[in-house]
Amino acid sequence: MTDSAPMLDHGQFSKLFPFHFIVDADMRVIDTGSVLARVCPKIVPGALINDHFLLFRLASEPIKAFNRDFIARQENTLFVFKSTSTDLMLRCQVLILRDPERYLFLGSPWVRNPTELKALHLVLQDFALHDSTVDLLQLVQATSTSLHDAKQLSEKLEQRVADRTAELSMANAELSRVMRSKDDFLSAMSHELRTPLNAILGLSESLAEGVYGDMNTKQVKSINTIAESGHHLLALINDLLDIAKIGAGKMELELTKANVEDLCQASLRFVMEQAQKQKINLKLVMDNQSVMLTADERRLKQILVNLLSNAVKFTPNGGSVTLETKCDLESESLMFSVRDTGIGIATEDLKRLFSPFTQLDSKLSRQYAGTGLGLTLVMKLVELHGGSVAVESEIGKGSCFTVRIPCKGLDTLNQHNPSGTISLTEITPAETLPSNTPLILVADDNEINLMTVTDYLRANKLRVIQARDGLEAVKMVREHIPSLVLMDIQMPLMDGLDAIAHLRADDKHTDMPIIALTSRAMVGDRERCIAVGANDYLSKPVNMKQLVKTIRAHLPNDETL
Amino acid sequence: MYGMVNKSVQALVTTKFGIDKWEEIKQKAGVTIEAFISNESYPDAMTYGLIGAATEVLKLSADEILFAFGEFWVLNTARQDYGDLLSSAGRNMPEFLDYLPMFHTRVALIFPHLKPPRFECSDRQADRITMHYFSHRPGLSVFVRGLFSGIAKMYDTPAQITQTKFKDKGDDHDEFLVCWGDAIQKSG
């Protein structure tokens, strides 16, 4: 100590260093701090410090027999003592005092958390104010509390996540159940709605044809309205079921190689009658007439018919509707464009166009009947093919819907085939099935019946040609010599009975199987049909499975289905 | 304000009145925090908002709530958050009160952003002590009275707490006379 160092009395020194102790050269206690004396009452003056403290050194056993020489060598080292009677550990610095030789240990308890403090029966006031041990303890406690809070928060959040996940799982399970119910419902609806609807349509047709007697004009008008509404309802149900099927991922495409021209012709024929009524000029423009496309033929036709029907519907009398096909060899896709000179669509309405049940103007929905599902279905069917739909339109000038269907290895059977515009009068049905496949002539003046039966027979691997009246039926039989004829009885120009009689009068066609199809479910109808030469008779609405079964029964054995 | 204060309000309400009341109070106060972190700083307005909403939802006066809150703070929240450190702050109530200024000084050192209040002691006698409370936060003197009452209960020492100076009545700080033992009879 220098002369300027303060001289402290024992009380002051003890207040500053309440855990100090002083030993002599023999390691006997001379003095202790007030708190150490309280905590270790046996450390009294004269006691041998080695009896009460072990000296700790890192990485070695505690040293019991420490002496003055050892301490003198370690003067600049931190001393850690462990009480032999309590859990108290003291961390100290030693000062060697001279005259007489004494060793002063200054320090404080080594505690790492408040619990140790309690175990040692120490309170915070036992520490000198300058001792940062208490700050350290307070900091440790605060950190521990913060960690505890954070853990609790984390547990709370984990619980919330778990609850949410459980809720989501339940919601998902419920959703799956609802989806299953929906599928079941749709399946039931498909059957339950179509069955009575078939009866409504069949009976309407029979009534309209006078099967149950003559009707006055008002009654005819009413029955036609019933029939139209029934067909509209059937279209709506079919569209809904298709959309639901696609939505549920249950619609699988039946990909086959299809002749694009045939596909276009068949689609155009479907709208021909309506186009003729409105004096609309229907055109087919192809850049290559022999192109083949791998697609689901039935669905592709559904796409084109939807677009063509819309085009005809929204085109005023005397306008034109063009179906245009274009091969894009670079992107390996085929473009079908349906262009009309109709009322057009405003730019702001284009984005709503493909939403379900959307008719852009409520006035239009009254003027132009439609399911409101057609374009939605088109979009979904095109997407199912991996394609896209684009639309360009101008109010008052018309619209153009372009469907792009990807087609890897776009196959042009005849590269030299000229491109050009084909007049509809040139359109003739063609088949993509092998030529030894049975060829069926379907004669019916009702486009829906014609398409339904055609689609079903084609789906059953039969080639089909069509006629819309008795005269055309006779002409086509002579030209194509089909394997079998399905003859509707009520037809314009020449009815089915006369057509059968004409064919049977020709020696070439005496053995050709003819099945009469009629809604005349009256007593004696069958006999009349058989009498003129029909081989069999089926009444409408016809069960498709039964129809195929009947066809199979009448086809020669070497013509397989 | 210390997150521990808000945590304490939450614990008091949920313990005494149920979780639904707490959610109602939180909603009324516009507080969306899921859980408070003790040593984090939160806006004072949030704490005042929670206490204000509690008076409405629980249909109790602000003084009743603040006093109960003070007692609860010591007997539950501080006990839980400070653990053994709290009981190590004194072997008896007078020692604890004597150490209170130092305790807050250390909190201010460790968490200067929390701006804790300052306590001072004077007139230490065998059966009484005068406690001085300095805070820039208004309206919490009843809470402090509840704190002292809680400390007395923690040490099972019947005590009488009397506020002798009032900051909200013009004094420069709040002052409390804490009496125990014979002093209670003398003053009573």
What are the boundaries of each domain within chain A? 10-131, 159-247, 253-426, 428-561
Fold match between domain A253-426 and domain A428-561:
no
Query: B3 in contact with A at a CB cutoff of 8 Å?
Result: yes
Asked whether this complex has an ipTM greater than 0.90, the answer is: no
Which of A35, A130, A145 to mutate: most B Cβ within 10 Å? A145
Q: What is the pLDDT of residue A452?
A: 73
The whole-number pLDDT of residue B14 equals 93
* pLDDT on residue A427: 37
Q: Given an 8 Å threshold on Cβ–Cβ distance, is A117 in contact with B84?
A: yes
List the beta bridge partners of residue A253: none
Class of domain A253-426: alpha beta
Q: In chain A, what is the straight-line distance between the N-terminal and C-terminal CA atoms, in Å? A: 121
Is the pTM higher than 0.80? The answer reads: no
The residue ranges of DSSP E strands in A9-111, in sequence order, are: 21-24, 29-32, 53-56, 79-83, 89-97, 102-109
DSSP E strands, A395-445 = 398-406, 411-412, 420-422, 439-443
Contacts of B95 in chain A (CB under 8 A): 123, 125
Residues (pLDDT < 50) of chain A are 1, 362, 364-368, 412-418, 422-431, 560-561
CA–CA gap between residue B2 and residue A561 (Å, rounded): 87
Partner residue opposite B95 with nearest CB, options A122, A125, A145? A125
Contact A137 B95 (CB under 8 A): no
Residue of A nearest to B90 (CA): A123
| Per-residue pLDDT at A296 | 87
Residue whose tokens read 């001792």: A131
CA distance B91 to B25: 38
> At B121, is the secondary structure helix, strand, or coil?
strand
- Which pLDDT belongs to residue A429? 39
Are the CB atoms for A367 and A315 separated by under 8 Å? no
3-state secondary structure A339-356: EECCCCCCHHHHHHCCCC
- Token pair, residue A67, equals 């002496």
Q: Does B33 touch chain A (CB under 8 A)?
A: no
CATH architecture of the domain with range A10-131: 2-Layer Sandwich (3.30)
Which pLDDT score is estimated for B36?
87
Say whether B38 and A146 touch across the interface (CB within 8 A).
yes
**Cβ-nearest to B99 among A113, A124, A149:** A124
B38 CB neighbours in chain A (<8 A) are 142, 145-146, 149
Q: Are A95 and A74 a contacting pair, CB within 8 Å?
A: no
Closest CA to A132 of A113, A155, A154, A108: A108
Q: How far is CA A316 from the centre of its chain?
A: 39
Please tell me the distance in Å from B102's CA to the nearest CA on chain A. 9
CA distances from B118 to A322, A505, B134 (A): 91, 123, 5
- Give the nearest partner residue to A114 out of B88, B91, B98, using CB atoms: B88
Cross-chain Cβ contact A145/B81 below 8 Å: yes
Domain boundaries, chain B: 3-60, 73-187
Asked if B99's CB is within 8 angstroms of A146's CB, the reply is no
Instruction: Place domain B73-187 in its CATH homologous superfamily.
Output: H-NOX domain (3.90.1520.10)
Amino acid at A148: H
User: What pLDDT was estimated at residue A142?
Assistant: 84
Sheet holding B118-125, edge to edge: B118-125, B128-134, B174-180, B159-165
Contact A150 B37 (CB under 8 A): yes
Is-cis flag, bond preceding A541, omega within 30?
A: yes
**Closest chain A residue by Cα to residue B78:** A145
B89-110 confidence digits (pLDDT tens): 888 999 999 999 998 888 888 8
Cβ neighbors of A426 (< 8 A, separation 6 or more) are: none
At residue A369, the pLDDT reads 52
For strands A102-109 and A398-406, give the pairing: unpaired
A117 vs B3: CB contact, 8 Å cut-off?
A: no
Give pLDDT, residue A60.
65
- The per-residue pLDDT for A274 is 80
Report DSSP state, residue B2. B
A141 to chain B: closest CA residue:
B82
Q: From the options 3.40.50.300, 3.40.50.2300, 1.10.3720.10, 3.60.130.10, give the CATH code of A428-561.
A: 3.40.50.2300
Task: Measure the CA–CA gap between A426 and A424, rounded to whole angstroms.
Answer: 5
Residues of chain A with Cβ-Cβ distance to B106 below 8 Å are: 134-135, 138
Q: Which residues of A touch B92 (CB under 8 A)?
A: none
Determine the longest span between alpha carbons in chain A, in angstroms: 153
Q: Give the mutation candidate from B88, B96, B110, B114 for the A interface (greatest A CB count, under 10 A).
A: B88
b/e per residue A73-97 (b: at least 16 CB within 10 A): eeeeeebbbbbeeeebbbbbebeee
* Whole-number Å distance between alpha carbons of A71 and A64: 12
